[in-house]
Amino acid sequence: MLNLFPITRALIIANVVIFLLQGMGGDDFVSHFALWPWHAPLFHAWQIITYAFLHDGFSHLFFNMFGLYMFGPEIEHTLGPRHYLMYYFVSVIGAALVHLAVMQLTGTEWIPTLGASGGIFGLLLAFGMFFPQRRIVLLIPPIPMKAWVFVTLYGLVELAMGVFGTMQGVAHFAHLGGMLGGFLLLMYWRVVGTSNL
């Protein structure tokens, strides 16, 4: 199926290749390309994009790439390759900016952030908006629900976990930032009359 969706395929390949390079480069690689708070000495502007290609272990990579595989092709088909690629990276950047702002406001310790989750949450939001009545079945528990319900509940759960500090080490506000960045871009495209939207 991915042969029909070149951008999704390229993103998955890039994430896997960079994960392997990360394994060889170790801490130095993470120090240069993970996302650090913007008041930290290790922060560089390119990190608002590069962090999304790094992952904290194989399971982190697998679940993010599974999400990309599940939702990416239909969004790529709907938007077209050029708009899809733009949408994905706007979600990634939106996730980074929201996460940086929250870290600044809360005085979070200087720890790196990494992972494609912001982009994946952007794709999830787009899926809920484009296919609101489509049924999604959760893995745990296996409960089917409409896409718009799933996306709304997932967003609310992320907000609650971010506010109450549940699951420490997970960048909940970055996930919400990915959704926000994607939503704002979709609204902009609708206003300017971009085709297919």
Cα–chain-centroid distance for residue 114?
Answer: 10
Torsion of CA 117, 87, 15, 172, to 10 degrees: -10
Q: Which of 55, 99, 172, 175 is catalytic?
A: 175
Could you tell me if 8 and 69 are in contact, meaning their C-beta atoms sit under 8 angstroms apart?
A: yes
Of 89, 106, 114, nearest in space to 39 by CA: 106
Of 2, 88, 99, nearest in space to 53 by CA: 88
Residue-range domain boundaries for the chain = 2-192
Of 131, 129, 126, 134, nearest in space to 83 by CA: 126
195 catalytic residue (yes or no): no
What's the CA gap between 144 and 52, in Å, rounded?
A: 29
Asked whether the predicted pLDDT for residue 34 surpasses 70, the reply is yes
What's the CA gap between 116 and 16, in Å, rounded?
A: 11
31 catalytic residue (yes or no): no
Q: Which of 55, 83, 117, 172 is catalytic?
A: 117
What's the CATH fold of domain 2-192?
A: Rhomboid-like fold (1.20.1540)
Hey, what are 10's tokens?
Answer: 């390229």
Q: What is the helix (H) or strand (E) element at residue 144, kind and residue range?
A: strand 144-146
- The pLDDT of residue 53: 97
Asked whether the predicted pLDDT for residue 102 surpasses 80, the reply is yes
- The pLDDT of residue 168: 57
Which has more pLDDT, 69 or 143? Answer: 69
- The pLDDT of residue 15: 97
Could you tell me if 181 and 94 are in contact, meaning their C-beta atoms sit under 8 angstroms apart?
A: yes
Hey, what are 11's tokens?
Answer: 């993103």
* Mean pLDDT score, 83-94: 97
- The pLDDT of residue 152: 87
